[in-house]
Each structure stands twice: as structure tokens, then as C-alpha cells.
Amino acid sequence: MKTLALTTAIVATLAAPAALASDSLAQSMGVAPGQYTTAELIELRNAVEENDVARVDFILNGHANPVEAEDIYNARLAQAIADGDVVTVNYLRNAGPEVISTQSVGQNERAREIFARIDAE
């Protein structure tokens, strides 16, 4: 009986700092203590430090992605437009295959000189 009481006291003593550290980490992350495991809190902290918004949302939503496919599509299209990523915009708007020309647009300075000389002759 004394062994059981002693073992329980030792386990409680060793677990208390971990629980307090987990609660402290939870409070520093702005979430309720006990809502997430210590591993989830560490993952959440890393995601916040890396500015990984998608991973933060994923963790805070209980490892579920509550976003509808249409919302994802619209967000990706808006981001491609904001980035000026014409290839991705065309790909998304054309629902898949996109033929991309390998010919460059415009001319460089040397090409302009050559064409001007040809035109002058």
C-alpha cells in the first residue's frame, strides 16, 4: 500500500510540471488549456512561427479541413491573380489543360537592332 501511495505521489510530482508547461504554452498561443495536447501545441507554435496559415487553421479546426472545394478554388484563383501568375489563372479558368507557348513575348534590344537594319535595307 505504501508503494502504491509513493508511486502515485512520484507520478503526480513528475506530471505537474509538464501539465503546467502545457497550460502555459496553451495560454501563450491564445487557446484554452487542456484543449490541445502538448504535441499539438508545439505543432501550432511552429506553424505560427513559420506563418503557415493553412496549418494553423488545420490544427485549430481539430485536424479537419472545413473549407468547401469552391472556397479553395476561389482563394487559389484570387491568389494567382494577385501574384500575376497568368499560367495558373488560365489553368484554373480552363479547368485543366493549358497550352503554353514557348515563344517569348517581345524583343530584346539586339533583336530590335537586327530588325531595324533589315528594314532599312
Do residue 55 and residue 73 come from a single domain? no
Domain that holds residue 92: 67-121
Contact in structure between 56 and 47 (CB atoms under 8 Å): yes
Say yes or no to pLDDT of 107 above 80: no
pTM score, whole prediction: 0.40
Do residue 75 and residue 31 come from a single domain? no
Do residue 71 and residue 44 come from a single domain? no
Asked which of 61, 81, 111 is the last residue of a domain, the reply is: 61
Please tell me the predicted confidence (pLDDT) of residue 82: 92
Do residue 38 and residue 72 come from a single domain? no
Do residue 17 and residue 53 come from a single domain? yes
**Which of these ranges, 5-14, 91-100, 112-121, has the smallest mean pLDDT?**
5-14
Q: Give the chain's length.
A: 121
Say yes or no to pLDDT of 83 above 80: yes
Burial of 76 (0-12, 13-18, 19+ CB in 10 A): middle
* Average pLDDT, integer, range 50-69: 76
Model confidence at 81, pLDDT cuts 50, 70, 90, reads: very high
